[in-house]
Chains A and B, each alone.
Chain A
Amino acid sequence: MLDRKKNKIQGYLLLLIPLGLIGIVGIYPLVRAFFLSFTDATLYSTELHFLGFTNYHKLFGSSEFINALKHSVLLTTLSVLIQYFLGLIIALVLHHRTLKIFNFLTNFLMLPWIIPVASTVFMFNWMVQPGFGFFNMVFESLGLTNLTGYWFGNINFAMPSIIMMHVWRNTPFYALVIFASLKGIPKTLYEASSIDGANILQQFFYITLPNIIYSSAVVIVLHVLWTFNNFDFVFLSTGGGPVGKTDVLATLIYRQSWQYYSFGYASALGVIMFSIMLVFGIFYIISQRKELG
């Protein structure tokens, strides 16, 4: 119906609205950042000098970059692994309704995900305060005084605290996605297999797992991208410290751009970050394109 020529023109004109907006606030900045990464741009520079690959040379030789990259990979890997396995267990528990109260509690499952990440950090920051923070009070009353102190400022506790906040926020999303795909598995498969004598583990590995593998893959890729991209969690809790122990690519780039104002170098770091994300991004796009047909 809408394939007459006049309609097509109208269609392209309408498409200019979303394209224009995304173009101005998304695509143009991204392209411009690629360009900046080859220059000596700073906050103040009025004219740019082309540097070639100097910024890239500099970053690959910088221990700060290696440090941040290591932490980004570590944080992403550990968070996503813990979130996935915990989310899977919670989804199974909810699916099998082991306790009646879970039906009620599921109403609150998504709360961590829908509130601002900043608010999450503020709440945990309040709870890890030395002396009168919730965690400290609990551990002190249990006599575990070696677990007390300001976790965000402690070399050994800072990274685990950040991972804990990621797990707190994102696990519910995994649980809901897997829970939803568990619902789609026909019950007859389980009935038939138990008549054939399959035990619970065999049922899990031969029926459940193959049926949730697609949604698992999508939710994992989504969160790899999200965690790698996320800035608020680390910046607002530890700021990358103590002594760079939690510095990730996002906080490094932010510091380079807004403390040292070296836009060119920061852009080069960002381009490397984008390239890494692109590998996972392509997986994501392929998985989603199938849906469109």
Chain B
Amino acid sequence: MSKFFRTVGSLIGIGFFIFILTPFVWTLYCSFRTSGSLSLGKFWTGFSDLTFDNYVSVFTSTATNLTTCIINSFIAAIAVTVISLFVALIAGYVLTRFKLKGSNGFIVLFLSAQMFPLVLVLIPLYQLLSTVNLINSIPGLILAHIVMALPFGIWLTVGYMNQIPKELDEAAMIDGLGWFGCLMKIILPLSLPAIAVVAFYSFMVSWGDYLFASIISQEVSSQTLPYGIATFMSSSTSNLRWGSINAAIIISVAPTTIIFMILKRWVIEGLTSGAVKG
């Protein structure tokens, strides 16, 4: 590539990464500064204004219930992950191995469920959950999150298991293994990358949801973190608490970031695979 293009490209690249990283770095930095020093509008106000208090206050303050929110978010996200993963693996296995009539139709059905407008789905879903008394409950929220996580999960497992040679499990079956043994002993071990992506995606979707949580789990006992922080930010005392708000934001960003860093290669491959093949 010519020198001109390299230079311009490098400059745009550098600018882009600064743009991407600034909010993280700034929020992380501010989460360790006192609210008093933040309100001064200065980039640096001395070492004496650095503190861990913001994180302590997120967990101890009686003015908010962010600790409950964090626990609720974890419970919901882990449950959604386990359920979606289990169901997606079964769906992937059945749709790629049991040569059923209409398999392709089911796949298209699951695929199209990815693009239902969620604000529309929420209305009847709310009615449904309230008739079975699951409004303001974590199980209700978990059910709702499954509609966001599962279609993509199924789509991924189907795509992945299609690439595992069918001869492998056919050979195992000739040796007397049943379908369940095949799934557990042959398909699962080979599907670990897909499992990682489905699990990560499900966790991410549930952990990050604001729309459903803002209607289905408004009550304090069942609130999740995004809703909790939004309420915290709009409360009248929020101007005095920017330090704690920043700490809460960092806590809301941390779990998916850490899990992603561990599973990075698989997740990126899985997420981009649908678009890259072709």
Contacts and interface: CB of A to CB of B under 8 A. Distances in A.
B104 A22 contact: no
B75 interface: no
A14 interface: yes
A10 B179 contact: yes
Nearest to A27: B113
Contacts of B128: 24, 28-29, 32
Interface string A265-293: 01100110110011001001101111111
B256 A114 contact: yes
Interface centre among B41, B106, B245 (most CB of A within 10 A): B41
Interface stretch (B49-57, B58-66, B88-96, B188-196): B88-96
Interface residues of A, number: 108
B252 A116 contact: yes
A60 interface: no
Contact of B116 (A26, A129, A171, A200): A26
Interface stretch (A50-58, A73-81, A91-99, A154-162): A91-99
Interface residues of B, number: 108
Contacts, number: 304
Contacts of A89: 9, 12-13
B12 to A, nearest CB: 6
A273 B26 contact: no
Given A118-B252, A266-B123, A281-B112, A22 B147 contact: yes
Interface in A81-109: 86, 89-90, 92-94, 96, 98-99, 102, 105, 107-109
A127 interface: yes
A149 to B, nearest CB: 13
A116 B97 contact: no
Interface of A: 1-3, 7-8, 10-12, 14-15, 17-19, 21-22, 24-30, 32-33, 36, 86, 89-90, 92-94, 96, 98-99, 102, 105, 107-112, 114-120, 122-127, 129, 131-132, 134, 136-137, 140, 168, 171-173, 176-177, 180-181, 184, 200, 214-215, 218-219, 222, 225, 229, 231-232, 235-236, 249-250, 253-254, 257-258, 263, 266-267, 270-271, 273-274, 277-278, 281, 284-285, 287-293
Given A15-B106, A232-B210, A254-B119, 16 more contacts: A1-B170, A2-B97, A27-B113, A86-B16, A102-B13, A105-B17, A116-B209, A116-B210, A116-B225, A117-B208, A119-B253, A218-B278, A231-B119, A254-B211, A257-B119, A291-B277
Interface of B: 1-2, 5-7, 9-10, 12-14, 16-17, 19-24, 26-27, 30, 38-43, 83, 87-88, 90-91, 93-95, 97-100, 104, 106-113, 115-125, 127-128, 143-144, 146-147, 150-151, 154-155, 158-159, 162, 169-170, 173-174, 179, 204, 207-211, 215, 225-226, 229-230, 233, 242, 245-246, 249, 252-253, 256-257, 260, 264, 267-268, 271-272, 274-278
